[in-house]
Structure 1
């Protein structure tokens, strides 16, 4: 055990930090993009004219992006990523595809959460003359908070899975260590340790998400 820590300890710690860095930055940008998109999907879901066309366009774009496996999206976006952030390598180079991959998925989860809000509650506020934007932010999002928290938790776990493929563009992370050292260099103990770390990490995230969602229901 001591020999393993001396040989691989620093590598695994650095990979864990890189994974946290990729996940945190990508999740923040995904929420910034995904939450408004989810709201827009809900408020344009019914109606005519521009609303209907807006929903149709968003629906097609989101479904198209979600249908592309991350590994394909990662390489397809390499030229765009270089133009946008100046590099397609490392942590910075993988943030763009991670956000583009996660934001539409999160938007769908937000849409589902907001659609669960009781229509009677919304209609009651509409009858009082409350502006639509205020109903969205102060009623729908507040009522859907437990489901939104669970949605973000699910997206976060999916994001961790996507970072496992980020090593293909030199971004590092636990998935990269498991592949490069555990598989390619035939060091199975490295792979098993990274798997254990990822399992523990995901269990903690899911438990935290469940706890926060349950607390939000009581508020």
Structure 2
């Protein structure tokens, strides 16, 4: 969903109107079904949404390294434009330059592409965080901040906290899932390793770069040891 569609949705005056707009902009062929939308970019508009809709909000945040790895699995880096460095790399191939030179150029190109993507992600992450802070300053009693990493490490305690905030009774059975095919449900349940998957895929140097570039929200950096 692009920013234009999100703007159209969050400008609704009531929750019912917002839901109707969301359903209209969805790709679902059956517009009569009930849907749950977890578009992270709504967080950019959290102050505006909470100003119009008087509902409690559970805001789930995650260590930026985990968010970056999750996003990286869905990005298409081949569409990124890197200007001069990409042109040089393409010229080396077209000119049939030595393999070693093309290899070095390719590695440089890929690394530069990754760093640009990483730094852009960090800025987006902080943009969402700033919107949360603005909303918390104005509507603090209606917002519960939940750390995804803590939820994975302590599912019972954190889920109970969410239910209490919403004024609902909690039962640990809610943390089990039905035995039916569903591509969006992890059969292993909520567990700590879900939050730490990024460690096997993001090098230490890049992890430190992400933490450094999101230090404005260092309280969201998960420290499990």
TM-score (norm 2): 0.29
Bigger radius of gyration: 2
Q: Which has the higher strand share?
A: 2
TM-score (norm 1): 0.30
